[in-house]
Amino acid sequence: MRKRAAVLLVAAVLLSGCAVFAPSCGYGQLKRYETSFLDVFDTVTYVKGYALSEEAFRKDADAVHETLVKYHRLYDIYHTYDGIANLKTVNDRAGTEPVRVDREILDLLLFARSVSEETGGAVDVTLGAVLSLWHEAREYAAAHPGDAYVPSGEALREAARHTGFGLLEIDEEAGTVFLTDPDARLDVGALAKGFATARAAEQAPAGMLLSVGGNVAATGPKPDGTPWVVGVVDPDGGEGYTHTLEIGRTSVVTSGDYQRYFTAGGIRYHHIIDPDTGYPSRRWKAVTVIAGDSGIGDALSTALFILGREAGEKLLLLHGAEGMWVGQDGTEYFSDGFPAYIRDQ
């Protein structure tokens, strides 16, 4: 019995070795392929990898795409899709009735609840009522650049009364979720893209690189054992990268004040809101997190962007993650293990 298991194990190692690693088995014939698509999470997704043929790569990339489309539809708060109860459905039924949802939605919201607890509410998907005021102001500014407005303090305070996980009932057994306050809304923008990217990466073959709107996840080093190289963009919009990181099987996520914003009265209002004030957080220009799971990386990058260094360091330690902060004056700060990922120039 034991021998059979050993033989099977050797066979498995040989098989995977032949397909991917051992030069004698032909990894030299692997070619690099790349594809992109535009229909998930309102952003550009790249898939890069090595395969023996374009057809083989296409099959893996299609599987990644399919997974991302599935999660995109479930986590969409702006559109409905035939035959699916998604987060828009949950928002639309706020104060009315519990909604039966797929396991993927329960998993996301349970994860989001733990993130809210760990971050002391700094990252909280039940902030939708507040975040939607900023979203509307940003959309209005895009359509009427000369006429941009900022949500009023009064409107923000009123919206804040309809936030908090106390208003979200997650019933795992019944498979339902329910926003009990008719004015409460979910907004999962802080972590859903990373959560979905992590799930897609889990299903992808080793040695692939996924980038979903800059939310990067590598499923292992390239087949020849060399790392993937990921650039950290300059938050001030400078050419090139401020750092290049070398990664194997991990994920890199950045949150920054330059990513999505509008300008009113000469002041830039970006998209990451400090729940304590109701306004965009001004503490950092950007933060980059390296985390094994890109859902955690996404949640942490938003959290670190809002929180002070000490609270951020604690979160990184809790998850075995690394982080880099860029202060308003451009000074960079690193967690202890971060510099090891930076490629020597």
Task: Give me the residues paired with residue 46 across strands.
Answer: 36, 211
Closest by alpha carbon to 37, among 210, 241, 153, 168? 210
Nearer to ligand ADP, 101 or 131 (CB): 131
Residue 93: contacted member of ligand ADP, Mg ion, none (CB under 5 to 8 Å, by partner type): none
Residue 125: contacted member of Mg ion, ligand ADP, none (CB under 5 to 8 Å, by partner type): ligand ADP
Shortest separation between residue 215's beta carbon and Mg ion, angstroms: 8
The widest CA-to-CA distance across the chain, in whole angstroms, is 76
Interface with ligand ADP (CB under 6 A): 122-125, 127, 131, 187, 189-190, 193, 255, 259-260, 271-273, 275, 298, 301-302, 306
Shortest separation between residue 35's beta carbon and Mg ion, angstroms: 25
Shortest separation between residue 305's beta carbon and Mg ion, angstroms: 8
The binder of Mg ion chosen from 190, 200, 290, 304 (CB under 5 A): 190
Residue 90: contacted member of Mg ion, ligand ADP, none (CB under 5 to 8 Å, by partner type): none
Residue 272: contacted member of ligand ADP, Mg ion, none (CB under 5 to 8 Å, by partner type): ligand ADP
Nearer to Mg ion, 125 or 150 (CB): 125
Q: Which residues contact 298 (CB under 8 A, 6 or more apart)?
A: 190, 191, 192, 193, 194, 195, 197, 215, 253
Nearer to ligand ADP, 57 or 71 (CB): 71
Closest by alpha carbon to 117, among 74, 162, 166? 166
Residue pair 101/176 in contact (Cβ under 8 Å)? The answer is: yes
Nearer to ligand ADP, 126 or 250 (CB): 126
Give the single-character DSSP code of 19.
I
Residue 133: contacted member of Mg ion, ligand ADP, none (CB under 5 to 8 Å, by partner type): none
Q: How many CB atoms lie within 10 A of CB 100?
A: 13
User: Does 179 help bind Mg ion (rule: CB under 5 A)?
Assistant: no
- Look up residue 303 and give its amino acid: A
User: Residue 47: helix, strand or coil by DSSP?
Assistant: strand
Find the residue with minimal CB distance to ligand ADP: 189
User: Residue 119: helix, strand or coil by DSSP?
Assistant: coil
Relative to beta strand 228-233, strand 241-247 is antiparallel
Shortest separation between residue 95's beta carbon and ligand ADP, angstroms: 21
Distance in angstroms (rounded) separating the CA atoms of residues 123 and 116: 5
Q: Which residues bind Mg ion (CB under 5 A)?
A: 190, 298, 301-302
